[in-house]
Structure 1
Amino acid sequence: MNRHAKRFMYIGLMMIAALFLSGCASSKPGLVDGKVNVVTSFYPLYDFTKQIGGDYVNVINLVPAGVEPHDWSPKSRDIKNMSGAEVFVYQGAGFEGWVKDFLGSLSSKSTLRVVEASQGADLITTDDNKEEFDPHAWLSPLNAEKMANNIKTALIAADPAHKDAFEQNYQNYASQLADLDARYKKELSQTSKKEIAVSHHAFAYLCRDYGLTQMSIMGLSPDAEPTAQDLKKINTFIKDHQLKYIFFEELVSDKLAKTLAKDAKVDTLVLNPLEGLSKAQEDAGENYITIMDKNLKNLVLALQ
């Protein structure tokens, strides 16, 4: 049995388990009556939906706080929530490997509205395969605005009675994203350096939008194992550009980044790819824009 068939079987079993559980319980865990129930595949989509939907939506984020989403897959409760929701929002562009099988396992009678958030965004193809995309499109505020617009359209279709509220919330949030983009353009245009060393090759969109170049320890997936040649290449990059920092992310072990930083005699800083928040960040009320502003602050520090 090939990998695709095994994954399809897994999703099918989860669907059966979800249906069984729904017959044993009087309520749907996570879903609420009287609101548009929206399930999102990971954090940025959750935040965008909350900002636009406001009090009229109940948003469930699938990936728990502190969990890196690249290799996450849904459990029976997640399948149940997705199947019972009015709207399901996922990133697309190859980010969620499990989505195709989930959608293929839905009943033909399903009324679930499915939103591929990255549809229409200005995507970057990978260097080694021009038919595959770098999925980290949300790290461009300009793309984030397009993704938010896709979510707004789905919310209006699911709940046309609150169209005006969704439109107004979207316009307010789009204005905040435009201001964020303006801050990035202004601050990063004034830095003397334009090169960054990162642990995870997640920042191609940010680099494209603001004239930066990234060199990464790992590839598009943060748990990809770097080769000795990869480590040598980034060490040379750090020395050639006289960099003072290596950026790492908080949801993945920083051991390799700190080891490489020590060898290269540089320091480390956080550059958050916003694939999820830690529990502490959630409790502190952090969100997409506040984290992106912290990223900007650290970028400016590193690029002086």
Structure 2
Amino acid sequence: MSGISKWGKGKLGAIMLLSLLLILTGCGQANPTESNQEEGVQVVTTFYPVYDFASQVVGENGTVHLLLDAGQDTHGYEPTPKDLVTIAEADVFVYSSEHMETWVPAVLETLTDTDVLVVEAAEGLDFYENEETEEEHHDHDHEHGEGHSHVIDPHIWLDPVFAKEMVAAIAAGLESVDEENAEQYAENAAAYQEELDQLDQEFHTAFAEASNRTFVVQHAAFGYLARRYELEEVAISSFTSDQEVSPAQMATIGQFIEEHGVSTIYYQDSQSSKLAETLAAETGTELALLSAVEGVTAADQEEGTDYLTLMKDNLGALKQTIR
């Protein structure tokens, strides 16, 4: 299934139209937007992983914009009127999936009178659901029986093989919009996919002979990584970062740590580490960082941090446990 959709001409919603008029009037014709001042294909992305993938494919043939800064809530983000104009004026708008950027479907309804090409990079990939008790969390995507819900894990980019597919979807979109540079986009994508292949092989090699294949994390963001390399993720909290964990749940995880001789608890760089710190203190375990590759700042990027470097850091961290 293609992750690309073209939004045809139609009647623009009154709210969007008002926002456009207010902003464009405020800017004035003598002060065009940043996108209009820049040359080449203009791509707007939602959060860091798709920004990095799109940047690798675009190369020097245009500009890739990032909507969300590091630390902003990707799930509950509310785009500003300026954001809506930026998206509407782009050539391509790229997001991961409606499971991650839950606000995007509402934005797409405002694009019916634009020529922006929309790429859902993870469309068609094999998302999976995790069953939780009602005590663990509420208000998830699909209710299933009394006291339980099925929650779709949105962190699909943390699997290097799925990351390759997301890069391919982005490249296909760019090639269709900018046919003049289509060959360059294809070459850029292929080169980056080779690096993702190497990353995939490094994970396979590192864990091929491991006897302990279980790791404990604060936030359940690494399920796709675990599945790809036949590991088991045990999470203190679930997919939602703001979930409250009961004393009973903490006790259960603590008992698991003691019974299985777990030496390390992993916390996520873009989330509070409070739960992991509490449990580590109670069980005498070490703390280590695993990155979900979401909270990458501009300063981080200037220092050379990107998807590949963070995933290799994750590999090094997991070797403390998976061996």
Do they fold alike, i.e. is TM over 0.5? Answer: yes
Counterparts of 2:42 and 2:295, CA distance in 1? 20
* Residue 278 to residue 237, structure 1, CA distance change in 2 (3 Å): farther
Aligned to 2:128: 124
The answer to whether the 8 A contact 2:45-2:51 is kept is yes
The answer to whether the 8 A contact 2:266-2:288 is kept is yes
Counterparts of 2:42 and 2:58, CA distance in 1? 10
Report the Cα offset of residue 109 of structure 1.
Answer: 2.5
Counterparts of 1:298 and 1:158, CA distance in 2? 40
Provide the secondary structure at the position in 1 that maps to 2:59.
helix
* Residue 229 to residue 152, structure 1, CA distance change in 2 (3 Å): same
Alignment size in residue pairs = 293
**Larger fraction in helix:** 1
Aligned to 1:4: none
Provide the secondary structure at the position in 2 that maps to 1:38.
strand
Q: Deviations over 1:220-250 (max 9, x none)?
A: 1112222223212221221222111110012
**Larger fraction in strand:** 2
Counterparts of 2:321 and 2:262, CA distance in 1? 8
Aligned to 1:160: 179
Report the Cα offset of residue 120 of structure 1.
Answer: 2.2
* Residue 133 to residue 182, structure 1, CA distance change in 2 (3 Å): same
* 2:92 corresponds to 1:87: yes
Aligned to 1:97: 102
Aligned to 1:289: 308
Aligned to 2:50: 45
Aligned to 1:248: 267
Aligned to 2:166: 147
Q: Deviations over 1:141-176 (max 9, x none)?
A: 000000010000000011000011001001101111
Report the Cα offset of residue 287 of structure 1.
Answer: 0.5
**Gap regions ≥5 residues in structure 1:** 1-10
* Residue 82 to residue 261, structure 1, CA distance change in 2 (3 Å): same
Report the Cα offset of residue 95 of structure 1.
Answer: 1.0
Provide the secondary structure at the position in 2 that maps to 1:154.
helix
* Residue 120 to residue 102, structure 1, CA distance change in 2 (3 Å): same
The answer to whether the 8 A contact 1:19-1:80 is kept is no
Counterparts of 2:220 and 2:212, CA distance in 1? 19
* Residue 221 to residue 191, structure 1, CA distance change in 2 (3 Å): same
* Residue 222 to residue 14, structure 1, CA distance change in 2 (3 Å): farther
Among 19, 22, 30, the residue aligned to 1:20: 22
**TM-score, normalising length: structure 2:** 0.85
* 2:239 corresponds to 1:237: no
Q: Deviations over 1:189-230 (max 9, x none)?
A: 233311111111111100000111111122111122222232
Report the Cα offset of residue 54 of structure 1.
Answer: 0.4
* 2:92 corresponds to 1:73: no
**TM-score, normalising length: structure 1:** 0.90
- Matching residue's letter, 1:27: P
Counterparts of 2:236 and 2:16, CA distance in 1? 36
Among 184, 188, 196, the residue aligned to 1:169: 188
Provide the secondary structure at the position in 1 that maps to 2:86.
helix
Among 287, 293, 296, the residue aligned to 1:277: 296
Counterparts of 2:37 and 2:269, CA distance in 1? 32
The answer to whether the 8 A contact 2:264-2:285 is kept is yes
* 2:69 corresponds to 1:64: yes
Report the Cα offset of residue 298 of structure 1.
Answer: 0.3
The answer to whether the 8 A contact 2:76-2:103 is kept is no
* Residue 31 to residue 293, structure 1, CA distance change in 2 (3 Å): farther
The answer to whether the 8 A contact 1:68-1:252 is kept is no
* Residue 205 to residue 119, structure 1, CA distance change in 2 (3 Å): same
Report the Cα offset of residue 68 of structure 1.
Answer: 4.2
Among 33, 57, 60, the residue aligned to 1:55: 60
The answer to whether the 8 A contact 2:35-2:89 is kept is no
Counterparts of 2:185 and 2:214, CA distance in 1? 39
Counterparts of 1:233 and 1:271, CA distance in 2? 22
Aligned to 1:212: 231
* Residue 275 to residue 236, structure 1, CA distance change in 2 (3 Å): same
Report the Cα offset of residue 67 of structure 1.
Answer: 3.1
Coordinate RMSD, CA, aligned: 2.0
